Amino acid sequence: MGFWKSLFSSADAPSATKSMSIALESVEGASDRGSHVYFSTDREIDLYELEELCSAVGWSRRPLRKVKKAIQHSFLVVTMWEQRGTQRRLIGFSRATSDHAFNATIWDVVVHPDFQSQGFGKALMKHIIKKLRSEDISNITLFADPQVVDFYRRLGFMSDPEGIKGMFWYPD
Amino acid sequence: MGFWKSLFSSADAPSATKSMSIALESVEGASDRGSHVYFSTDREIDLYELEELCSAVGWSRRPLRKVKKAIQHSFLVVTMWEQRGTQRRLIGFSRATSDHAFNATIWDVVVHPDFQSQGFGKALMKHIIKKLRSEDISNITLFADPQVVDFYRRLGFMSDPEGIKGMFWYPD
């Protein structure tokens, strides 16, 4: 995938993103749109912008107070941004809960429809996996909707390994 | 289940358990063994005692440093104890990771073989569910080994609801 080749150092970040320059990591994307795509682990996210992203993929609204709390208490939050000149746009999001030792569970993986089927979701997931592995987390899990099971399988996720079943509790 | 009827207030706790009296909750068990069974959310757990419990059910050893870290960073830790006179014995354990808002995932559910098939595992799980619900967690999940899927199903857990699959990442 040729467009994942260029690097975008934090020193190049325009002023609008300076506050998150520490969180800027290896920036893996420079799309063919005359823009850059980069990842951040900064948690200072505009919740309305996040809500807009989630609405774009058809997710139902959630109380912002709870979304904020969930972000605060996630082990890892990764956002994906398109930078075009001084403008940046939130195009992807994911987060993981964890015990900081053995297990992590990835939640809320979302990529804006304009950026789907172009490798951005895969890049986002690979970034999260790399981060979790670098924290010595050995067991990376998630719960996949039926339509994305194959997407995750191609990334190395197995469903029901050795018969282990993902289960959800529902009140009687 | 008649033996879940008596209460054991923290004031009755012998000196050995005083340090955890704050964490003592409604104590639900008084078994027919001339002893009481109670739950605690205290995280000051003797890691060797926990390791012994896990060994008793055949789990492989894990580095105590990581177990300690995982306990520290779990959202909820529930231990189950048998109290007999001034002696107490760790007979069950479980913990949950969470984002403190939407999702919790239950890990490491263990009940000592001497106490299995007598309702103690069910009571432990019900205690955890109650705790998570009281924290306004709406989505309670877990990954169940094949031999315990039916156990969790009887507690109200559903496997693969609406085709959602539990998935685990494995390195290529």
ipTM exceeding cut-off 0.90 for this assembly: no
Q: Over 80: is that where the pLDDT of B12 sits?
A: no
Spatial separation of the C-alpha atoms in residues B21 and B42, rounded to whole Å? 9
Beta-bridge mates of residue A29: A37
Give the lowest-confidence range in A5-19, A71-85, A96-110, A143-157: A5-19
The packing angle between helices B64-72 and B47-56, to 10°, is 100
pLDDT score for A78 = 98
Radius of gyration, alpha carbons of chain B = 16
SS3 B97: strand
Spatial separation of the C-alpha atoms in residues B153 and A140, rounded to whole Å? 24
Check if the beta carbon of residue B60 is closer than 8 Å to that of residue B51. no
Spatial separation of the C-alpha atoms in residues A21 and A11, rounded to whole Å? 8
> What domains does chain B contain, in order, with CATH numbers?
2-163 (3.40.630.30)
How does the average pLDDT of chain A come out, rounded?
84
* Residues with Cβ within 8 Å of residue A97, at least 6 apart in sequence: A73, A74, A75, A104, A105, A107, B97, B98, B99, B103, B105
The packing angle between helices A47-56 and A64-72, to 10°, is 100
In this prediction, residue B24 has a pLDDT band, given cuts at 50, 70 and 90, of: very low
CB contact (8 A) between residue B141 and residue A67: no
pLDDT digits (tens, 9 = 90+) for A12-47: 333 333 233 333 343 444 445 678 999 999 999 999
A79 backbone φψ class: left, alpha, beta (φ>0; ψ -120 to 50): beta
pLDDT digits (tens, 9 = 90+) for B134-146: 999 999 999 999 9
Token representation of residue B157: 């857990």
Spatial separation of the C-alpha atoms in residues A133 and A68, rounded to whole Å? 25
In chain B, positions 48-87, which contact chain A (CB-CB < 8 Å)? 62, 66-67, 69-75
Give the lowest-confidence range in A16-30, B9-23, B69-83, B103-117: B9-23
Q: CA of B105, closest CA in chain A: separation in Å?
A: 8
Amino acid at A66: K
Beta-bridge mates of residue B105: B97, B141
Residue with the bigger pLDDT between A5 and B84: it is B84
pLDDT score for A170 = 85
Interval A79-107 mean pLDDT: 97
Q: Over 70: is that where the pLDDT of A172 sits?
A: no
pTM of this structure:
0.83
Report the side by side order of strands in the sheet with B29-30. Answer: B29-30, B36-40, B76-84, B87-98, B103-111, B139-144, A165-169, B157-159
Other beta carbons within 10 Å of B141? 22
Q: Over 70: is that where the pLDDT of A6 sits?
A: no
CB contact (8 A) between residue B164 and residue A152: no
Token representation of residue A73: 């208490």
pLDDT score for A171 = 74
* Residues with Cβ within 8 Å of residue A134, at least 6 apart in sequence: none
Choose the closest CB to A156 out of B98, B107, B172.
Answer: B172
Q: Over 70: is that where the pLDDT of B171 sits?
A: yes
Spatial separation of the C-alpha atoms in residues B145 and B124, rounded to whole Å? 17
How does the average pLDDT of chain B come out, rounded?
84
SS3 content of chain B, % helix, strand, coil (to 5): 35, 30, 35
Beta-bridge mates of residue B81: B38, B90
CB contact (8 A) between residue B157 and residue A142: no
CB contact (8 A) between residue A70 and residue B102: yes
DSSP B103-124: EEEEEEEEE-GGGTTTTHHHHH
Active site residue B152: yes
| Nearest chain A residue to B75, by CA | A99
Q: Over 80: is that where the pLDDT of B148 sits?
A: yes
